[in-house]
Amino acid sequence: MKEVKCDCGHVNPIGTILCESCGKVLEEKEKDKKLLDMRYEGSARRSQTYNKTIIDKIWNFFSSVKVGVWLIVITLIASAIGTILPQEMYIPPIMPAEEYYEDQYGWIGKLYYDLGFHNLYSSWWYLILIASIGISLVICSLDRVVPLYRALKKQRVSRHESYLKRQRVFGASQAEDTDQAFAMAKEKLKSKKYSIREEDGNILAEKGRFSRWGPYVNHVGLIIFLIGGMLRFVPGMYVDKILWIREGETKVIPETNGEYYLKNDGFILEMYDKEKDKEVFEEAIDKAGMVAKNYQSNVTLYKKKGDTVAGEEAELEKVKDYEIKVNKPLRFERFALYQVDYKLNELNKMSFALTNKKTGEEYGDLTVDLNDPQDVYDLGNGYKAEVVSYFPDFEFDENGEPITKSRVPNNPAFVFKMFTPDKPDGEISFVAIRQTIEPFGDNEYKMAFKGIDTKNVSALTVRKDLTLWIFALGGVIFMVGVAQGSYWNHRRIWLRRVNGEVWVAGHTNKNWHGLKREIEAALDGTGIKVPEDQLQNQSEKKG
Amino acid sequence: MVTISSNLLYTAFILYLIATVFFAGSIKDKNRTKKGPNRWAAIGLWISIIGFAAQLGYFITRWIAAGHAPVSNLFEFTTFFGMSLVGAFIVIYLIYKTPILGVFTLPVAVLMIAYASMFPREVSPLIPALQSDWLHIHVTTAAVGQAILAVSFAAGLIYLVKSVDQTKQSKQRFWLEAIMFGLVCTLGFIIISSSFSAAGYKAEFNWIDKNGQEAVLEYHMPALTGPNEGQLTTEGKFEPLAEMPAIINAKKLNTVIWSLASGIILYLALRLILRKRIGAALQPLAKNINLDLVDEIGYRSVLIGFPVFTLGALIFAMIWAQIAWTRFWGWDPKEVWALITFLFYAAYLHLRLSKGWHGEKSAWLAVIGFIIIMFNLVAVNLVIAGLHSYAG
């Protein structure tokens, strides 16, 4: 590799624009400029130096901030498009998405669906955009941070005249007593928390260099964050299940390998009450009608004790009681259970009496647990009812046959076979809510409806997310980096003696107003003239 | 307590208006003997600080009355945004001492608070999802971040008012005037809706919604656009000029039309009085300001605001979403628009640092950034429904 040796004796890597050590301009085309381009300290960036192989070309493409900004802008526009209509996950499940969009939003909805915008954020092209931003982050950062680090580490105190002269803040003047003026300025700069380096009687005052690493630190944070997103796709890292659990029911918690069980001790729904709650809410409650106050499931968490053979009832050990509310999930091991939904008054039990239709005489009651019906209910004295078929969510299909839509007892129906001493072969009766069908002609007995018993059901989201700490780490690093880069400035002030004159130059990565004020304060009383802002002078001459 | 609270807000509102006048006066003041802000500006600053304190009083008393931080609905949030904007202005003013920043920031804050009061103002109880300490942590941080970013909008506007050539026709001149017109329309909306609400205008309609259900809709402005198959049931009120299909929200469209119309009338009146563009009329206010300084104020505000915004609107938001909604990110429209804001200011910073987009380009970006923030505040709550629709 060819290297560039500067007049000062420092050997710079190829492609260097400003000597890392003394700051002399090495690049021919930079020499005519009135002010130096101080970005990345004029260091040799790979992307600006090589452009031969395919790897160079890819590197150069992704290392360009222009490309990065385009990627950001395209992602921004794409994200905005995704909010025009609701995404598929937010539409009510009343009909298939394909019909829903056209039905609700007309041809715009159809177009939106056809273009795949209903699932925009998980579309392949959106993911490619995000991935490209990730690649751009890595390459952009590497391309700049390494040479920048070198340049700032190798910098000398006595910078080349051509370097100082072409700083934005620069001034040359005579001082009566240079030594004294320098000593005074040094003290003042020290009190402003500058670290001072001296060489041949020249001064470099520098502070806040670490703010230059802010952008790279926050990019590392973002990359870690994106890696967290990728890990979501690894099986076992992320669990998203829903657990519907009735009051009184004990269920195994999914994805816990049968280790944990949950019992629902009761679901509570509370509404705000004008009488009981704060008076100030009265007007709002009047206006809204009903305002929900609390959704709560009281649960008991159990852990399985020892090993059990399949089919054997597990022996459970109570872990704890907990009230799961919105904003107050139940956490155990790496799981969290969230209150997300509920159903009030789901049918739970139905009671019937085996009755003689003519006399109305009853031969015993039976209660069917709609979630776990028995096969036969023996009423004694030779009376019994057999459940031949059970349809928890009954309707007739197109052939007129009874079917069940789901396993949830929304509309239970039974086919009973009633055995009595005088009808030992049994009578068949089809019993649903408010209807009884006797398919084989007139029966002598019927299952008379006695009553129902309802229960509330809680819906809990079962969540395990082993990637969370990665997102948290990425987020923290990002915030540190962004604060580091935003709230601190890297400021340098050079004081150099040149042929009996005092040259002062200043540079900052941002907030020039602050730098100028500090220089002004540092030079006050030293007799050294306050340097001028050459950029401002330029623009004022133009304007 | 609630009455004290509203009175304090009202006081703050008036004080901000007065402070604006003083800041404007400090620029017009010809007896500038010494460098730096003059007496008018000093008074303006004190009035702003007292106004801010009054509004802080409103915030605290309302918090005590409700038992939760008053940032739970559109009125409370927008008011808080206005207060944060004044707070951010005061801080930035103390660094840079530029009275003109007050002339542009305070009216925006005043507009914001006035706009906020067009929404239901009663103290509302918290639904279960909002019952968390993260409510005030997340919402206030996000609002403060947005408010600091909004200062860069004010700075951008000052930059453009000064730098855009008003004597020649240009795209810049047109768009600058368009921004002014937008602000005037907001004022139009506030004037027209508070006038109708002061007059107690109410007209009820029976109509058929898009699911074919009969429903009742109450208008608070005369209906120019009526709802689908709407029947006016309140006697003696204005019959709609046109009927909208069920898919369009006729009531909101009606409000938009009224606001636009009053905005246009107001704008034309202003043009008649001023005899020039609003941009041109404001130009003398900016004549003494250094463009580089304004540019730096804008940039500085973005630098200060961006981390705060990210912390409040993304990071705290994610933590809360993980607790309340089981996942830290769900592509809800409000979340997406917070991401868009984040991406936009990230692009702003990259363009500035690496592509040298300073000065006018930067000023335009600051203006667009503010439009995005306002879109997220207004449109995402009122037009695009999502989990964050607490507007009522």
What are B270-302's pLDDT values in tens digits?
999 999 999 999 998 888 888 888 999 999 999
Confidence (pLDDT) at B55:
96
Query: Smallest CA–CA separation between B79 and chain A, in Å?
Result: 18
Residue B392: pLDDT band with limits 50, 70, 90: very low
- Domain map of chain A by residue range? 1-32, 45-152, 160-208+489-542, 214-232+473-485, 238-344+459-465, 346-452
Distance CA A484, CA A415 (A): 74
Confidence (pLDDT) at A500:
83
Query: Smallest CA–CA separation between A373 and chain B, in Å?
Result: 35
- Amino acid symbol at A50: Y
Is B391 a residue whose pLDDT tops 50?
no
What six digits make up the tokens of A364? 């015993």
List the single residue in A80, A82, A471 with the smallest CB-CB distance to B331. Answer: A82
Scanning A315-354 for CB atoms below 8 A from B yields: 325-327, 329, 336, 338, 340
Lowest-pLDDT choice from A89-103, B80-94, B329-343: A89-103
Task: Collect all residues of chain B within an 8 Å Cβ-Cβ radius of residue A487.
Answer: 303-304, 307
For A154, A309, B95, B367, the CA distances from A193, given in Å and listed in that order, are: 22, 72, 20, 36
Inter-residue contact B140 to B312 (CB < 8 Å) = yes
**HSE-up of residue A186 (Cα within 13 Å, Cβ side):** 14
B242-243 vs B225-226, strand pairing mode: parallel
What mean pLDDT value characterizes chain B?
Answer: 89
- B273 contacts chain A (CB < 8 A): no
Query: Smallest CA–CA separation between A416 and chain B, in Å?
Result: 41
Is B235 a residue whose pLDDT tops 50?
yes
What six digits make up the tokens of A151? 């340049």
DSSP B239: P
Q: Which residue of A has its CA nearest to B300?
A: A511
Confidence (pLDDT) at B252:
83
A160-208+489-542, CATH topology level: TATA-Binding Protein (3.30.310)
Q: Which helix (H) or strand (E) holds A362?
A: strand A362-369
Confidence (pLDDT) at A31:
76
Render each residue's pLDDT in chain A as its tens digit; 543 residues.
Answer: 568 888 888 888 888 889 988 888 888 777 778 888 888 888 888 888 888 888 889 999 998 889 999 999 999 999 999 988 889 888 888 888 888 888 888 888 899 999 999 999 999 999 999 999 999 999 999 999 999 998 999 899 989 988 998 999 999 988 778 888 888 999 999 999 999 999 888 999 999 999 999 999 999 999 999 999 999 888 888 999 999 999 998 999 999 888 899 999 999 999 998 888 888 888 888 888 888 999 999 999 999 887 766 666 778 899 999 999 999 999 998 899 999 999 998 888 889 888 888 888 888 888 998 888 888 898 888 888 999 889 988 888 888 888 888 888 888 898 998 888 888 888 888 888 878 888 777 788 888 888 888 899 999 999 999 999 999 999 999 999 999 999 999 999 999 988 888 999 999 988 888 899 899 999 888 888 899 888 876 665 544
Query: Smallest CA–CA separation between B350 and chain A, in Å?
Result: 7
Residues in chain A: 543
Closest CA to B224 of B262, B253, B197, B184: B253
- B342 contacts chain A (CB < 8 A): no
Confidence (pLDDT) at A356:
87
Confidence (pLDDT) at A538:
64
Q: How many CB atoms lie within 10 A of CB B282?
A: 23
Q: Which residue of A has its CA nearest to B2?
A: A280
Residue with tokens 């402003």: A192
- B213 contacts chain A (CB < 8 A): no
Query: Smallest CA–CA separation between A491 and chain B, in Å?
Result: 16
- A119 contacts chain B (CB < 8 A): no
List the single residue in A285, A327, A338 with the smallest CB-CB distance to B131. Answer: A327
List the single residue in B96, B299, B343 with the smallest CB-CB distance to A75. Answer: B343
Task: Collect all residues of chain A within an 8 Å Cβ-Cβ radius of residue B303.
Answer: 486-487, 510-511
Most B CBs within 10 Å: which of A112, A327, A541, as the mutation test of the B interface?
A: A327
- A538 contacts chain B (CB < 8 A): no
* Binary contact (A512, B296; C-beta < 8 A): yes
ipTM of the complex in this document: 0.89
Confidence (pLDDT) at A543:
43
Confidence (pLDDT) at B119:
86
Inter-residue contact A218 to A481 (CB < 8 Å) = yes
Most B CBs within 10 Å: which of A326, A476, A518, A520, as the mutation test of the B interface?
A: A326
Task: Collect all residues of chain B within an 8 Å Cβ-Cβ radius of residue A66.
Answer: 354-355
- CA torsion angle for B316, B317, B323, B327 (degrees, to 10)? -130
3-class SS string, A391-442: ECEEEECCCCCEEECCCCCCECEEEEEEEECCEEEEEEEEEECCEEECCCCC
More confidently predicted of A349 and B38: A349
Query: What is the rounded average pLDDT of the residues B172-186?
Result: 93
3-class SS string, B132-179: CCHHHHHHHHHHHHHHHHHHHHHHHHHHHHHHCCCCCCCHHHHHHHHH
Query: Smallest CA–CA separation between B278 and chain A, in Å?
Result: 23
For A202, B241, B361, the CA distances from B199, given in Å and listed in that order, are: 76, 21, 45
Most A CBs within 10 Å: which of B2, B133, B134, B354, as the mutation test of the A interface?
A: B354
Q: What is the pLDDT of residues B195-205, one digit of tens each?
A: 988 888 888 88
Residue B36: pLDDT band with limits 50, 70, 90: low
* Binary contact (B340, A76; C-beta < 8 A): yes
Query: Smallest CA–CA separation between A486 and chain B, in Å?
Result: 5
Q: Which residue of A has its CA nearest to B129?
A: A326
Scanning A202-261 for CB atoms below 8 A from B yields: 240
A182 CB-near residues (< 8 Å, 6+ apart): A201, A203, A495, A502, A526
